Structure 1
Amino acid sequence: MNGSESIFDLVQSHRVTAAIYAAAKLDLAEAIGDDAKSMAELARLVSADESALRRLLVALTTIGVCNRAGGDRFTITDLGRQLDRNANPSFKDWVLFEGEVLVRSWSGLVDSVRSGKTATEMRGEGHDRYAVMGSSPELVARFNAAMVSLTRSLVPKIVQAYDFSTARVVMDLGGGSGELIAGVLLHNPYLTGIACDLARCEKEARAHFNRVGIADRCRFVAGDFFEAVPSGADTILMKSILHNWRDDRSQIILRKCRDALPVGGKLIIVERIMPELPTTAAQHRERAMSDLNMLREPGGLERTEAQYRTLAEAAGFTFAGLSSAGSFSLIQFDKITN
């Protein structure tokens, strides 16, 4: 592939995003199901124009989402099945969030690079994107569903990457609807848990705890980690929290965590770690693009291991280890003294 073809392929990648989003929005994976479907049947099931839908499906075959099964019939692939909400894993909610929220946000990337400001800041709405988001229940629901789909895929990796046998009470700080803490408790039946997040997450979290059978071992505490972190846990988990915030705000969170933990308590930070010298490797590209996403909203950054260690040690923690959980890492710290 020559230089011009490479640039054309890269710059048109937003079209792939749009096609995958369209498939998710039209519920194509659910409509196709386990058996090949004719164009006429699919058009009826998803309420689409038959000719236009055929063109979308042809495009989706070129990226491996579906296959042509002879004639005018199509099947879903294992990749495409991840757009089915009932699949395991399912990333449908993440795809919908990407297509409806993040694509729009990224259109202003040049403005953020020029100004160093987030989209929220440039709209004059303050520095806290999550506070602004709270005024839109639909956006909160879309965001929470996307986070659940990502976290659900990570839980098996996290519980394999860290030995919770010395813990007794684990808190998921910024735990949203409770997907991570529920997974940890289900894998470790001797543990009790706390999910701490804004009050708007409580109803969904409690419903989830009841649904998976841990309501007697896990409670929800409404709170703002910039104000205080509740005591009572010997281990605090934070997944995809610190990367949302600049260093000064991250320091506040870390100091609140230290105040809440007993001597000997553990802090586990679950984040993507930026390499010191990123290359063209796919995993490096994923982290660099996530870093740009943080620049645009909500204003944080993806950090290197050294940066996370510096942040946590400045807040009074001692580095205790690092383990891998797929594309994420668990950076472990101890509270040694008061």
Structure 2
Amino acid sequence: MTTTDDRTTAAAVDPGPLIKLTIADCAAKVLHSAVTLGVFGALAEGPAGADHIVAATGLHRRMADDFLDALAGLGLLERSGDRYSNAPLAQAYLVPGTATYLGGFVELTNETLYGTWGRLTEALTTGTPQHLDPDKGGFVGDKHKDPEKMKRFFAGLDAYSDRMGIELAGRIDWSRYSSFVDLGGARGNLASVLVKEHPHLTAGVFDLERTRPLFTEHTGRLGLGDRIAFTGGDFFTDDIPKADVIVLGHILHGFDTDRRRELLRRVHESVNPGGRILVYDRMIDDERRNAERLLSSLHMRLVSPDGSEYRTEDVRTWLSEAGFTDSTAEPLLGTHTLVTAAR
């Protein structure tokens, strides 16, 4: 039963943040639809009116004004009179065909997040992972059986790994090393960024054998087919190629703690003496207060039977147990943490 005291207490607290959180997915869907329809590409050459955008994208005129103004309100478009232009953020990252395009990542999240998070309550009460493709299992479902699906999936990952590769290329003193292997490097996109920035490096990718055709096609298209070697295999049963530096990006969060420890021991055996290991993930802050990192961890629990994010201090402990020394941790891209350690 609600009392006068209850109403007085509630009146003293602004419900605005609660309402905003309740409809947060609406803003994300506006962004996803704008990328899918090509709004930012239609404005790549400069300002235009709503009618031009409607003609270029297939947007229905009845929906256009609210949709475009919502994009402006979100900081993705700018409006002057009756003309729209891309805001700096959209011009930098959402124009197709540019080297910094992140639209593939936007489309990937649209494809992978909504179906699974729509089943969050079921997962919370059963503990059962809610796969991206129900009844097909695995984080990518059966996409590996359809090359076109896998290409779209990897294109989304590439959009992010481009930025990660550029960051790692400048963050590490690669002049000290002559080789690296990207563990779980998919079709070699991050590796391609590193070898372009540091041509002296001998590069390798270690991933499941089924990824090889997509790797061969992608690196060949980039003109790097002879610069990056692919080794097919399983992290836990096959020999990991030896290198001065081994990179584990978005790998450890897919396993439970015992498997993480096991994998790091195996990696230690493959890093050349004097080399380093690089680990990056959306690691949870040691105080477990960062909501975005905790949501990432919850996502991994939602889509996999054993995965989750982990604390920075945890991985530094596991690295020490595996035999690595002198570990360091630092922020990466504002969304990740990079932990490195010496062999």
Scaled to the shorter chain, the TM-score interval is: 0.7 to 0.9
Partner of residue 201, structure 1: 211
Structure 1 residue 292 corresponds to structure 2 residue 298 = yes
Task: Supply the distance in 2 between the matched residues of 1:113 and 1:138 (Cα, whole angstroms).
Answer: 33
User: 1:256 and 1:201, CA in 2 relative to 1: closer, same or farther beyond 3 A?
Assistant: same
Partner of residue 169, structure 1: 179
Partner of residue 331, structure 1: 339
How far the C-alpha of 1:6 sits from its partner, in A, is 1.0
Task: Supply the distance in 2 between the matched residues of 1:183 and 1:300 (Cα, whole angstroms).
Answer: 28
Task: Supply the distance in 1 between the matched residues of 2:342 and 2:112 (Cα, whole angstroms).
Answer: 37
Partner of residue 28, structure 2: 17
Higher relative contact order (Cα pairs below 8 Å, separated by 6+ residues): 1
How far the C-alpha of 1:213 sits from its partner, in A, is 4.2
Partner of residue 261, structure 1: 271
What secondary structure sits across from 1:17 in the alignment?
A: helix
| 4+ residue segments displaced more than 6 Å | none
How far the C-alpha of 1:238 sits from its partner, in A, is 1.1
Percentage of pairs with the same residue: 23
Task: Supply the distance in 2 between the matched residues of 1:142 and 1:208 (Cα, whole angstroms).
Answer: 12
How far the C-alpha of 1:199 sits from its partner, in A, is 2.9
User: 1:100 and 1:125, CA in 2 relative to 1: closer, same or farther beyond 3 A?
Assistant: closer
Task: Supply the distance in 2 between the matched residues of 1:253 and 1:112 (Cα, whole angstroms).
Answer: 27
Where structure 1 has 5 or more consecutive residues not aligned to the other structure, the ranges are none
Partner of residue 43, structure 1: 54
How far the C-alpha of 1:212 sits from its partner, in A, is 4.1
User: 1:86 and 1:115, CA in 2 relative to 1: closer, same or farther beyond 3 A?
Assistant: same
What secondary structure sits across from 2:176 in the alignment?
A: coil
User: 1:121 and 1:253, CA in 2 relative to 1: closer, same or farther beyond 3 A?
Assistant: farther
RMSD: 2.5
User: 1:189 and 1:78, CA in 2 relative to 1: closer, same or farther beyond 3 A?
Assistant: same
2:256 to 243, 246, 255: 246
How far the C-alpha of 1:236 sits from its partner, in A, is 0.8
Partner of residue 4, structure 2: none
TM-score (norm 2): 0.86
Task: Please list, as runs of the form range in 1=range in 2, the aligned pairs for 1:20-99 lying within 5 A after superposition.
Answer: 20-71=31-82, 73-81=83-91, 82-99=93-110
How far the C-alpha of 1:29 sits from its partner, in A, is 0.7
Partner of residue 160, structure 1: 170
Q: Cα deviation per residue 1:252-297 (whole Å; 9 max; x = unaligned)?
A: 4223323333444422112222112244xxxx33212211211112
User: 1:122 and 1:173, CA in 2 relative to 1: closer, same or farther beyond 3 A?
Assistant: closer
Task: Supply the distance in 1 between the matched residues of 2:263 and 2:314 (Cα, whole angstroms).
Answer: 15
Q: Cα deviation per residue 1:148-176 (whole Å; 9 max; x = unaligned)?
A: 11111122221222112222221011111
Query: After the TM superposition, which of the residue ranges 156-165 and 257-266 deviates more from structure 2?
Result: 257-266
